[in-house]
Structure 1
Amino acid sequence: MFSIAEKLFPARTRRRAIARQLHAQIIAEARRQELFGDARIKDDVDGRVAAISIFSSFVTLRLSQADEDGKAIADLLTAQIFEGFDAALRETGVGDASISRKVRKLGEAFVGIGVAVNEALAGETPKDDLEDVLIRNQIVQPEGSEAVARHIMLAHSNLMKRSMEDIRNPQADQPLFKA
């Protein structure tokens, strides 16, 4: 059954559904076991936020560059990601009094990491630049930077090979970040 809002705003309903599906794929990629441990990304709130920031930045940038519909989906996707951050913080016991300050701090990290990673990948020496970003932002230790950078570069490359149609119609059995 459709709600009245869904009948009145079908484009927004469609965009929300796409954003939910993209969010699920980003979270799945950002939680891949090979990204964590042994000098790689720390398996804590900051590490998980960094991983989500990296993979979501690829998707939101690609959507935003496409058209107005893509920008709207990217905005909804970002809102869903931050709702997830808020919920995760609340689950760890962060109270209402400090939640906005902590979400703002996560937001600054989210944007900063996303911009830095996308700039690194667009540069002339993407692997070296990406490793530098990961180390400088204390996402990984130097000895774990190469493996994480390789994973990120492959995921980015695979996403960039996808058509906008594929990105706007994500399928659970066809992960965006896989060839």
Structure 2
Amino acid sequence: MSARVFSSEAGLAGFFRRRARHERAGFQLYTAAVTAARDPYLYVTLGVPDTLDGRFDSVALHAYLVIRRLNMAPPPGAELAQAVFDAMFSDMDVNLREMGVSDMSVGKRNRAMWEAFHGRSVAYAAAWADGEQLAEAIARNVWRGQEAPAGSPDALVRLVRAQAECLAEQPLEALLRGEITFIPAEEAAR
């Protein structure tokens, strides 16, 4: 009786084909989330800190909304959600390098941001059903222990919920093409 040798190459090739199939759409969806996260209303009116950390938290919040929407969709929603996540951390890697972070430190910093994003995602998901808890989670992450401007956490909860409703109405077929629409922040925060 001869031993049968199994190659993981076929499985690995299938994995990379599935990832590549959604890579462009994932990048486009992530880019739209970044654009929404850069809306000046968030920084000027709601007082989101216009710092590296504040911008990271705004991007993380908007990327969370896209990933949440995709993970609630039927297949291949989860694969596309992974592509958005991959695009986010590929972009973070590039940004760190452009800021002059040494090659030796990029991996460690990118991992720290991944862990921060994961922690925020877990906190937002756990608090989703309760507006007060969601406002506390957002304030804790966005203002990082600093006093949030009066009413801003509640306005961000309204914004997050409005964006989530807007994303839920968008068909998966459009999202698979990388097409997504966010409501302007001022309108969403009302």
Range of TM-score over shorter length: 0.7 to 0.9
Output one character per residue of 1:97-133: Cα deviation in whole Å (capped at 9) or x when no partner: 2212211111111111122223322x1x32x222111
- Asked if structure 2 preserves the Cα contact closer than 8 Å seen for 1:117 and 1:133, the reply is yes
Alignment of 1:26-175 (within 5 A): 26-37=33-44, 40-121=47-128, 123=129, 125-126=130-131, 128-139=132-143, 141-143=148-150, 144-171=152-179, 175=180
Unaligned runs of 5+ in 2: 1-15
Output one character per residue of 1:13-71: Cα deviation in whole Å (capped at 9) or x when no partner: 44112112211211111111111146622122211221111111122222233344222
Verify: 1:23 aligned to 2:30, yes or no: yes
Counterparts of 1:76 and 1:70, CA distance in 2: 10
Report % sequence identity: 27
- Asked if structure 1 preserves the Cα contact closer than 8 Å seen for 2:19 and 2:83, the reply is no
Counterparts of 1:138 and 1:49, CA distance in 2: 9
- Asked if structure 1 preserves the Cα contact closer than 8 Å seen for 2:33 and 2:59, the reply is yes
Q: Aligned pairs, how many?
A: 165
TM-score between the two structures when normalised by the length of structure 2: 0.75
Larger radius of gyration: 2
Task: Give the residue type in structure 1 aligned to 2:47.
Answer: R
- Asked if structure 2 preserves the Cα contact closer than 8 Å seen for 1:19 and 1:77, the reply is yes
